[in-house]
Structure 1
C-alpha cells in the first residue's frame, strides 16, 4: 500500500502537507466558527437569518450596500476600460509609465486616501474654498457625510482593480481582426462596437465582479466619508460586534457576504481564469 501511495503522491507533498494543514486549520477554523455562531447565538436556530425578512433596518443597510457597490462598479469599470484601452494602444515607453503609476496606486494606504479626500472635499476643504474664492458658490457644498463622498472615495480606490482584468483581456486580443475590419470598410466606431467591445466582454465581466466583490467589504471609506450617515454591511457588522454585542447577527451577515462572494467568484471563473485577473498566465 505504501508503494502504491508513493507512485501517486509526490515526495514533495510530504514536506508541504504539514504547512498546508496548518493553513487549512487557521483559515477554515474561524470561518466555521462564524457559521456556527450565526446558527447558535443567542440560541440555536435560524432566527438570525429570519431577520433578513423581518428587520427593516437590516434590509435597508443591505440595499444601501448593494446600491453603492453597484454604482461604484459601473463607474469604476467605465473609467478602468478607458484607462486599459489607452494603455494597450499607447507607445511602449508610455505604456510602462502608465503601468508604473497604476501599480504605485496599490501601495497607497486606503486610510491615507480616505483622509486625503476628506481634506479635499470637506466643508473647509480645498475644493469648497476654491469654489468660494471664485464666487461660484456662496456656501460650502456637502461633498462628504453622504453617499456622494462615499462613492468618490470608493471609485478612486477601485479603478486600478478594474483596469487589471481589462488590461489582461485586451492584451490577448488578436489585432489582426480589427485591422481586417477596417480593411473591409468599417469605420473606427463600427470596429470598436461590433468587434472590439464584444471581444472584451470577458474582461468587462471579470472587472465588474472583482470590483463588486471588493466593494462589499469596504469599511474605512464609508465610515469616514459617510460620517455615520451612510451605513454599509461591513460597518454594521462592526457595530454589532463592538457596540450591541450581537455576535449572532454579525456572524450571519458575515456568512451572507462570504457565500455571496463565493457565488460571484464562481460566476467570474466561467468568464475568465481567476489567475488572469491578477496578471497570471492565460494559457
Structure 2
C-alpha cells in the first residue's frame, strides 16, 4: 500500500517532472495579463521553474517563492538565473498559511500545486488574503485525466498489473485536473471578480532521449507514481516497466527518442 506522496528531493523531481514544468511555466507566464515591476508571490514554487519564468518574462519588483520543502528551495536558490537577482527570495511555508502579510502582492501564481494541498479552497482564500485589490491570481495544473500522456500511460499500465494501483491514480484523486472544478474554485475565492475568471489549456511536447530517460525518473521516489512504485514488489515494478515500454512504442522516433504530449489547465482571474 503506498503512503503519502513524497516531495522532498529536488534533483529526482527535476528528472521526473521538473524539466517539463519549466516548459509549461514559460508558456503560462506568456498568457498572463500582467505588468512589469510589480510584486509577485509564487506559491508552491518547488525548485523555482515558475519563479524563473516570471523573472525572465515580467521583470518583477519583487518575487517571493514559498514551498514547504527545504530540499526543493535549496535547489531553487542555487539556480544560476537568480544570481544577481536580489528581487527573488525563497521561504519555507505552505499554501494554507502563507508567511506573507495581507494585501502585500500584486500577483499570486501557483504551478502544479493545487491538487496536492489538503484544502484547495482554503489555499485560494489565502491567495486572496495576501493579494492587493485588483491583483492577478493564476494557477495551472496537469490534466491528469486525459492530457498528461506520460502519467496516463503509467497508471493505465499499473492498473493492469495491480488492481489496487487505481486508488493512487492522480486522475481519480484530483478533481481539479479538469476545467470546471478549477473555474468554480477561482470564482468562489473571496473578493474575486467572477467575470474575470478564465480557464484555458497549455500543451507541450515531452521528448525523452530513450525509454530509460522516460522510465528511470519513476524510480526517484518523488510524487504519486514514484511513491506508489516504491511500495510494490520488484516483480510488479518490472511488469509496469515492460508494460510502459510496450504502451509508449507508438511514440518512438527513428533516432530512438520518444515523443509524448502533455496538457495543463490554466485558471486566471483578478480580485475586484
Tell me, yes or no, whether TM beats 0.5.
no
Greater strand share, 1 or 2? 2
Q: Normalized against structure 2, the TM-score is what? A: 0.25
Q: Normalized against structure 1, the TM-score is what? A: 0.25
Greater helix share, 1 or 2? 1
Higher-RCO chain (CA-CA 8 Å, sequence separation at least 6): 1
